[in-house]
Chain A
Amino acid sequence: MRLQLKQKSILPGFGLALGFTVLYLSLLVLIPLSATFLKASSLSGQQFWHIVSSHRAVASYKLSFGASGIAATINLFFGLIVAWVLVRYNFPGKRLFDSLVDLPFALPTAVAGIALTTIYAPNGWMGRFLAPLGIQTAYSRLGVVIALTFTGLPFVVRTVQPVLEDLDKEVEEAAASLGADRWQTIIKVLLPAVLPAALTGFSMAFARAVGEYGSVVFISGNMPLKTEITPLLIITKLEQYDYAGATAIAVVMLVASFALLLTINLLQAWSGGRLKRAHANELPETAEFEAAR
């Protein structure tokens, strides 16, 4: 078979459209991104390693990845509940809550940052109740987790919601008629069905949180080694005109985000594949349910 670069079509404009797309993508995204790696390559391996493994840098990775992981886990747990409640139940104000879920996508991060800081400051709306309990939220690591929970909130809800909507009620009826109680149906039938979507949402929330800057800088207090996230360390190095240092840390972040992007794509392929199978073969979850019994 002859290798075909493009399938035949009578529609015009392919060359022009693809040419413009690739040109614009290269000029705006690909070339600037590769400049970072070019700049980093001017460092020797030893210099690079010295910068990215410094005490302060490692402390910032721990905070950025650790807090992102905790925030994404909080969002996974509550996101599943919120998605479930929005799809299955009726209650007053449901439409309003549903629309508001996307707020963290639409609200500028700086606005979210100052709002959350004001709420969780020791005299703030939430802070005044938490401070007497000895819980310091603003200007602590907990504050970072709160800010990252806010930015990642919509992901799990929005990936799980359509899957729950598509799920046939018959599957649950089948499980019930085969003698499963409600709890078993949820754990063994519903949860496996939404798991790939939930994990996709989890990784998206995690990826977004790792790079987040605006909503965190106000609430974190920005103390080196304690509440300094990796993006802030890059800015600090830039402000000290340490371009090599900033670039080296940026390369670490870029590699991490590419790895996360790959993970998300694989997860999406997995959940897409499961959905397709579910449509091709009726009630596969029931079969799984029986196998599990």
Chain B
Amino acid sequence: MASITLPNPGVLAASRAVQATTEQPWVRWSLIAIAVAFLGVFLFLPLAIVFSSALERGVSVYVGALREPDAMAAIKLTLIAAGISVPLNMIFGITAAWAIGKFDFLGKSLLITLIDLPFSVSPVVSGLIYVLIFGLQGLLGPWLAAHDLKIIFAVPGIVLATMFVTFPFVARELIPLVEAQGTEEEEAALTLGASGWQTFWRVTLPNVKWGLLYGVILCNARAMGEFGAVSVVSGHIRGRTNTMPLHIEILYNEYQFAPAFAVASLLALLALATLLAKTVVEWKARQQSTELQRMSGEAL
């Protein structure tokens, strides 16, 4: 180690201290190799195979697979499902964060646990519960059939199932943030004559904007990629009730591998964009918090 070439006793002691709380180089590099190999096999390989298989039969097959009418319909339906469920769950997340993060009340931790519930329910069961209510054999089935309303094996069912599986994302991201902000700033705004809405828009929301953005991005990624729950309620009608993941499944089961991976590559790109956005948002949030610390330091 460096201690051999640096006889200075101070440095010698320091290097020994370093050695006591770190590992020998061979241990260090073996651990790094194990970690990199594990992540490489489980994360890099799946990503690489998606893009290489998508382009295996050339760009024209790739573009053709995306411009085919059934694929276009699937992309459109995926955008509709995410376009409805993400804003609704965002409004819910903000409301829940205000109620839970800013107030103390009985049953608060129970409420938080209940909000997390959809995360622990299997996607298949998440779809099934709506079939049991709105399906032909379901509780409301006969009534819906009599009024010629279709929810299961139709778009509303797909939207409902998507809403269920993405339900906790924004709320779970925001609640701890809003809670950590405390209530002093809002109280100051109110005392200075701001209305409740003004306080919310100008004080609370700017403080948690990065967390909110992150929650929405995660919510959107899951909404566009959900497979199990949507598969149960969709009925797999080509061109009508197929979302992108369901379209991928059909193509793959028909041995149309290149087109299947072409559609999959769009979702993989979405996943990569999500990860990039996460990294940027985390960096911005850290920047904001150090700035706040600096400002409060100056105020003192």
Known: A25-B115, A81-B35, A101-B39. A32 touches B133 (CB 8 A): yes
A101-B43 in contact given A17-B99, A106-B221, A110-B264 (Cβ < 8 Å): yes
With an 8 A cutoff between CB atoms, is B249 at the interface? yes
Interface presence of A55 (CB below 8 A): no
**Chain A: CB-nearest residue to B189:** A11
Minimum C-beta distance from B163 to chain A (A): 6
Q: A46-54, A191-199, A247-255, A277-285: which lies at the B interface?
A: A247-255
Interface string of A111-138 (1 = CB under 8 A from B): 1101110110000111000000000000
Of B45-53, B58-66, B285-293, the stretch lying at the interface with chain A is B45-53
Q: How far is the CB of B277 from chain A (nearest CB, A)?
A: 10
Within the complex, which residue of B43, B130, B249, B270 is in contact with A32, where a contact is CB–CB below 8 Å?
Answer: B130
The verdict on A14 contacting chain B, using a C-beta distance below 8 Å, is: yes
The answer for the CA separation of A112 and B221 in the assembled complex, in Å, is: 14
Q: Is B296 close to A, CB under 8 A? A: no
- Of A6, A88, A260, the residue contacting B105 (CB under 8 A) is A6
Stretch at the interface among B4-12, B117-125, B205-213: B117-125
Pick the contact of B125: A9, A103, A253 (CB < 8 A): A253
Q: Is the CB of A35 within 8 A of B32?
A: no
The yes or no answer to A78 lying at the interface (CB within 8 A) is yes
Flag if A182 contacts B128 (CB, 8 Å).
no
Partner among B28, B124, B167, B275 whose Cβ is within 8 Å of the Cβ of A28:
B167
Partner of B47, one of A17, A18, A101, A103: A103
Contacting residue for A182 out of B17, B23, B186, B232, CB 8 A: B23
- Tell me the bound Cα distance from A14 to B227 in angstroms: 36
Chain B CB count within 10 A is highest, among A9, A82, A114, A115, for: A114
Residues of A within 8 A of B186 (CB): 11
**Which residues from A are CB-within-8-Å of B154?**
none
Expressed in whole angstroms, the minimum distance between the Cβ of B152 and any Cβ of chain A is: 11
B49 to nearest A CB, angstroms? 5
Whether a CB of chain A sits under 8 angstroms from the CB of B1 is: no
Which residues of A sit under 8 angstroms from B76, Cβ to Cβ?
none
- Bound form: Cα–Cα A14–B34 in Å: 51
Determine whether the beta carbon of B104 is less than 8 Å from that of A238.
no
Shortest distance from the beta carbon of B9 to any chain A beta carbon, whole Å: 18
A211 B124 Cβ-Cβ under 8 A: yes
Contact partner, B113, options A10, A176, A261, Cβ 8 Å: A261
Chain B interface, number of residues (Cβ within 8 angstroms): 97
Q: Do most interface residues of chain A lie in helix, strand or loop, or is the interface mixed?
A: helix
Q: Output the residue of A33, A211, A214, A234 with the most chain B CB within 10 A.
A: A214
Provided the pairs A11-B183, A81-B38, A100-B39 are in contact, do residues A110 and B104 lie with their beta carbons within 8 angstroms? Answer: no
User: A109 interface residue, CB < 8 Å from B?
Assistant: yes
Q: Does B228 contact A (CB under 8 A)?
A: yes
B residues 239-264 with Cβ under 8 Å of A?
A: 244-246, 248-249, 252, 257, 260-261, 264
Which A residues, 205 to 232, have Cβ-Cβ distances below 8 Å to chain B?
207, 210-214, 218, 230-232
Given A234-B125, A238-B128, A238-B131: A114 and B111 interface contact (C-beta under 8 Å): no
B163, B246, B260, B275: the one within 8 Å of A114 (CB): B260
Q: Decide: B196 and A13 in contact? CB cutoff 8 A.
A: yes
Q: Output the nearest chain A residue to B249 by Cβ-Cβ distance.
A: A110
Chain A residues contacting B261 (CB-CB under 8 Å) are 114, 118
Which residue in A7, A39, A84, A258 is a CB contact (below 8 Å) of B120?
A: A258
Known: A28-B164, A35-B129, A36-B125. A103 touches B43 (CB 8 A): yes
Contacts A11-B183, A111-B248, A115-B46: A253 and B122 contacting too (C-beta < 8 A)?
yes
Q: Which residues of B contact A35 (CB under 8 A)?
A: 129, 132-133, 138-139
B20 at the interface (CB under 8 A from A): yes
Q: How far is the CB of A190 from chain B (nearest CB, A)?
A: 10
B130 — nearest CB in chain A belongs to which residue? A32
B3 at the interface (CB under 8 A from A): no
Query: B227 contacts A110, CB within 8 Å?
Result: yes
Q: Is the CB of B95 within 8 A of A21?
A: yes
- When the two chains form the complex, which single residue of B98, B199, B248, B279 contacts A110, counting CB atoms closer than 8 Å? B248
Cα distance, A104 to B275, chains bound together (Å): 10
Max count, chain A CB within 10 A of own CB: residue among B22, B35, B100, B160: B35
Determine if A246 is an interface residue (Cβ-Cβ < 8 Å): yes
Of residues B43, B122, B248, which shows the largest number of chain A Cβ atoms within 10 Å of its Cβ? B122
Question: What are the residues of chain B within 8 A of A254 when measuring CB–CB?
Answer: 121, 125
Q: Is B238 an interface residue (CB 8 A)?
A: no
CB-based contact A107/B225 at 8 Å: yes
- A14-B99, A106-B274 given; name 7 further pairs at CB < 8 Å: A18-B105, A35-B139, A110-B225, A110-B245, A110-B248, A118-B261, A231-B124
Which are the 3 A-B pairs with shortest beta-carbon distances?
A108-B225, A211-B122, A176-B20
**Can you give 29 contacting A-B residue pairs, CB < 8 Å?**
A9-B183, A11-B102, A13-B200, A17-B99, A32-B164, A93-B36, A99-B275, A99-B278, A102-B275, A107-B46, A107-B225, A108-B271, A109-B245, A110-B264, A111-B267, A115-B46, A118-B49, A173-B20, A176-B21, A177-B20, A182-B23, A213-B227, A214-B228, A238-B131, A241-B137, A243-B132, A254-B125, A260-B120, A261-B117
